[in-house]
């Protein structure tokens, strides 16, 4: 396994729209394993392939306390959503920044698991927020895109300084 480099905001590659996965083969399995290692090492609770510069529809989530419940979503689609909730979100691509975002309270998601089998999941709370945040990455969207232009520009400047001073 290997730890992959994570793209940092405002890298323009974070706005790439991901392509759907046509076959779940050993190449995808290798990417899943490397992304899992990368996410747990960070540590994070969610990671989209977009963030490791792989522009395919693949996300990993583990919101468990024990960090032993990896959830893999290939070609995920939100088929229904309802309600609203505000959550203080972060992102491995925007380190040190946490801001409140309003999203759906509950979502119903259809996806393929790591064996290529279709499943449907009903999610609420943190898992629901995380699924919506990670699917956004596949659409080329970062959570800071929901903030005001003023806040977003302050974050942009802070990130550029941070990366220059590293």
Distance CA 118, CA 7 (A): 29
**Largest interatomic CA distance in the chain:** 45
Place of tokens 């659409």: 139
* Assigned token pair, 22: 């046509």
Name the one range near Co ion by CB under 5 A: 64-72, 76-84, 85-93, 156-164. Answer: 85-93
Backbone φ, ψ for residue 27 (5° rounding): -65, -40
Q: Taking the complex as a whole, how short is the minimal distance between the CB of residue 10 and ligand QAP, in angstroms?
A: 15
Give the three-class secondary structure for 163.
Answer: helix
Site string for ligand QAP, 31-60 (x = CB under 6 A): -----------x-xxx--------------
Catalytic residue positions, numbered? 134
Residue 165 contacts residue 95 (beta carbons within 8 Å): no
Name the one range near ligand QAP by CB under 6 A: 2-10, 20-28, 71-79, 85-93. Answer: 85-93
* Assigned token pair, 45: 């609770």
Which residue of 91, 111, 130, 159 would you call a contact of Co ion, by CB under 5 A? Answer: 91
* Assigned token pair, 7: 């793209």
Q: Taking the complex as a whole, how short is the minimal distance between the CB of residue 127 and ligand QAP, in angstroms?
A: 9
Residue nearest to Co ion (CB): 91
Which residue of 7, 28, 35, 129 would you call a contact of ligand QAP, by CB under 6 A? Answer: 129
Binding residues (CB under 6 A) for ligand QAP: these are 42, 44-46, 87, 89-92, 95-97, 129-130, 133
């Amino acid at each position: 396994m290997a730890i992959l480099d994570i793209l940092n905001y405002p890298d323009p590659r974070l706005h790439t729209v991901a392509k759907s996965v046509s076959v779940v083969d050993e190449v995808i399995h290798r990417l899943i394993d490397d992304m899992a290692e990368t996410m747990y090492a960070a540590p994070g609770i969610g990671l989209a392939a977009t963030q490791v510069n792989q522009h395919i529809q693949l996300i990993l989530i583990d919101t468990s306390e024990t960090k032993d419940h990896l959830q893999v979503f290939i070609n995920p689609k939100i088929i229904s959503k309802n309600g609203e909730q505000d959550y203080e979100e972060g992102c491995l691509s925007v380190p040190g920044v946490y801001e409140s975002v309003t999203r759906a309270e509950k979502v119903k998601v259809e996806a393929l698991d790591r064996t290529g089998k279709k499943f449907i999941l009903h999610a609420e709370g943190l898992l629901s927020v995380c699924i919506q945040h990670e699917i956004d990455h596949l659409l080329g969207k970062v959570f800071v895109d929901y903030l005001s232009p003023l806040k977003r520009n302050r974050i942009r400047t802070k990130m550029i300084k941070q990366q220059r001073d590293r």
